[in-house]
């Protein structure tokens, strides 16, 4: 049984990782590359401000609602040094594909294990439903407070964001489980509460907002990322169930 679960997850992860990498190459990757040009100071926003020759990316203090500073032409918005990153082209594509395969394999393992442990017959339709649940838990629920971010956008401290992401994902998983697998009304109410509490607490916000990336580009990236994630989860659920049945 364990061997069957592992093989199904690996096969589904390999296939989904390659497919999603291809989808990303024509959806989210071009947006990221465009945003990196703004991050490096090579572009400016197309809008202009009164009394200026061109728009300069601004940073605002949330608490005081005042302008903190304006980035001069050619100066990067963030003062931190950039870490290592794969070179553009084939190297970047290979690393991205490898990362997608590893992530898809891990999520496929969760989906297959969940279907088996539920004790219900495994079918492609059931797998798609499990994939939809994964999308809600790992993308939709966290995205309500922490939407996907482009390079060059300002964000809260990484540790705080990671903690809240885990908090909301666990709450969403627990809530969905109670809603689907319990019959008592009070358990279902507890499930709804588990899903809502992280959002009542609220996601961590940066002390200032702004950056070098135009908001239109950031909004396009958020929409594209969520759609690609939904496709990925549907494929993970469907292929995981299909391979599990095939190996049986």
Residue 183, in any domain of the structure: no
Q: Does a structural domain hold residue 22?
A: yes
Average of pLDDT values for 46-74?
A: 42
Q: Give the pLDDT confidence of 188-208 residue by residue, as tens digits.
A: 999 999 999 999 999 998 877
Q: What percent of the chain has pLDDT over 90?
A: 62
Highest mean pLDDT among 48-57, 112-121, 212-221: 112-121
- Residue 34 CA to chain centroid, in angstroms? 19
Q: What are φ and ψ of residue 149, in 5° steps? A: -120, 145
- Cα→Cα distances 235→66, 107, 136, 166, 207, Å: 46, 11, 15, 23, 38
**Domain assignment of residue 185, yes or no:** no
pLDDT digits (tens, 9 = 90+) for 139-192: 999 999 999 988 777 788 889 999 999 999 999 999 999 999 999 999 999 999
Q: For the segment 211-242, what is each residue's pLDDT rounded down to a tens digit?
A: 778 888 888 999 999 999 999 999 999 999 99
85 has pLDDT over 50: yes
Contacts of 165 (CB under 8 A, 6+ apart): 142, 146
In a domain, 103, yes or no: yes
pLDDT of amino acid 155: 80
- The overall average pLDDT reported for the chain is 83
Please report, for residues 31, 151, 206, 214, the alpha-carbon distance to residue 38 in angstroms, rounded to integers and kept in the order given. Answer: 11, 9, 20, 8
Identify whether 195 is part of a domain.
no
Print the domain residue range for 218.
2-73+87-155+206-247
184, part of any domain: no
For helices 215-247 and 124-135, what crossing angle results, to 10°?
A: 150
- Relative to beta strand 58-61, strand 66-70 is antiparallel
Quick check: helix, strand or coil at residue 210?
strand
| Beta strands across the sheet bearing 208-210 | 66-70, 58-61, 208-210
Element (H or E) spanning 29, and its range?
A: helix 28-39
CA angle (224 as vertex; 115, 90 as ends), nearest 5: 90
Q: How confident is the model at residue 57 (pLDDT cuts 50, 70, 90)?
A: very low
194: in domain = no
Answer whether residue 237 is part of any domain: yes
Domain count, the chain: 1
Distance of alpha carbon 79 from alpha carbon 67, whole angstroms: 18
What is the rounded CA–CA span in Å between residue 216 and residue 212? Answer: 12
């Amino acid at each position: 049984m364990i061997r069957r679960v592992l093989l199904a997850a690996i096969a589904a992860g390999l296939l989904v990782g390659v497919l999603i990498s291809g989808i990303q190459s024509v959806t989210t990757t071009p947006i990221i590359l465009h945003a990196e040009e703004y991050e490096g100071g090579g572009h400016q926003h197309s809008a202009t401000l009164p009394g200026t020759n061109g728009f300069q990316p601004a940073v605002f203090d949330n608490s005081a609602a005042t302008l903190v500073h304006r980035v001069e032409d050619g100066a990067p918005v963030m003062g931190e040094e950039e870490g290592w990153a794969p070179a553009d082209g084939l190297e970047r594509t290979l690393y991205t594909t490898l990362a997608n395969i590893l992530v898809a394999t891990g999520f496929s393992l969760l989906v297959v294990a969940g279907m088996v442990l539920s004790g219900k017959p495994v079918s492609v339709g059931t797998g798609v439903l499990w994939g939809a649940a994964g999308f809600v838990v790992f993308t939709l629920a966290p995205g309500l407070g922490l939407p996907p971010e482009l390079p060059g956008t300002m964000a809260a401290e990484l540790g705080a964001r990671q903690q809240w992401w885990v908090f909301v994902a666990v709450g969403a998983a627990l809530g969905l489980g109670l809603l689907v697998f319990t019959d008592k009304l009070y358990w279902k109410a507890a499930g709804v509460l588990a899903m809502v509490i992280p959002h009542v607490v609220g996601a961590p916000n940066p002390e200032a907002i702004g950056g070098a990336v135009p908001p239109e580009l950031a909004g396009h990236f958020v929409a594209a990322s969520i759609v690609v994630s939904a496709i990925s989860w549907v494929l993970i659920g469907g292929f995981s169930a299909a391979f599990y049945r095939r190996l049986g």
